[in-house]
Amino acid sequence: EAGVAQSPRYKIIEKRQSVAFWCNPISGHATLYWYQQILGQGPKLLIQFQNNGVVDDSQLPKDRFSAERLKGVDSTLKIQPAKLEDSAVYLCASSYGLAGGNEQFFGPGTRLTVL
């Protein structure tokens, strides 16, 4: 079974530039998550989709971050414009559904460096 795919793996940009990350979840997984992991911290949920609808985006900085999941499969996360404090690893995860016992499967992440 293929895992969660993410691209690119690494990205370096200047502050105020834009950047986009892509995620392809495990086939059949209805729920998709984007997390931000700052060095030395645990992952923090940014947004959660159920199929192509947003379940929770309360911790997404909506003035600069946006995400979409067209057709309920792939997802993109965009930052525009980027700030220095956005430097982090962005993790995508998917699970079979929202039920409490479903474990999340994580992709390898995209390491973003903002200069």
Residues listed for the chain? 115
Please state whether beta strands 110-114 and 10-13 pair in parallel, antiparallel, or not at all (unpaired). Answer: parallel
Question: Does the protein bind other proteins through residue 56 (CB under 8 A)?
Answer: yes
- Interaction between residue 25 and other proteins (CB under 8 A): no
- Residue 6 or 75: the one with the smaller Cβ distance to other proteins is 6
| Residues 113, 115: Cα–Cα separation, whole Å | 6
Residue 32 near residue 92, CB atoms below 8 Å: yes
Nearer to other proteins, 39 or 84 (CB): 39
Q: Which is nearer to other proteins, 53 or 101 (CB)?
A: 101
**Is 108 a binder of other proteins (CB under 8 A)?**
yes
Which pair of structure tokens corresponds to residue 81? 């414009």
The pair of structure tokens assigned to 86 is 């956005």
Among the residue ranges 11-19, 60-68, 77-85, 106-114, the one whose residues contact other proteins (CB under 8 A): 106-114
